[in-house]
Amino acid sequence: MNAITTLIRQIVISVIWLGFTLYIVWLAPLDQPETLLIVRHLLTLHWSEVNGYLVAIFWLMGVLPMIYGCLMFTDGRMQKLPAFVYFLASNFTGIVGLAPYLVLRDRNTQFHGSLDRWLRSLNPALWASF
């Protein structure tokens, strides 16, 4: 059963990766003349000339990979794949760089290290008893 769930997870993530890649190649609005102007305003910190929602999304696109990177480096210690390569790729390409790591990684069932109080409280085996 574990091999089937792993295969299903890999297929779902691969389909998501393929969907985002196809979107980027064929549907992303890079041919609009104001796209490069907005990107220039975001990168040069002229945020008063850009919609506030775009500024918030711009900041989240930098913060969320860092949060996920913390999880990825913890998990990457026990993987065959070097997590930092996929982390760097995800900072530049988003899910396109991250999805191959998620497809190729092995599921960890054992934690190698000491559990502090915070990690013991997050242990799924403890929550399964409720």
Q: What pLDDT is recorded for position 110?
A: 67
Q: What pLDDT is recorded for position 85?
A: 85
Is the entire prediction scored with pTM above 0.95? Answer: no
pLDDT of the chain along its 130 residues, tens only? 577 888 888 899 899 989 988 888 887 766 777 877 888 888 888 888 888 888 888 778 778 778 888 878 777 667 777 888 888 888 877 778 888 888 888 776 666 667 778 777 776 665 555 4
In DSSP notation, 22-90 reads HIIIII--TTSHHHHHHHHHHHTT-GGGS-HHHHHHHHHHHHHHHHHHHHHHHHHTTSSS-HHHHHHHH
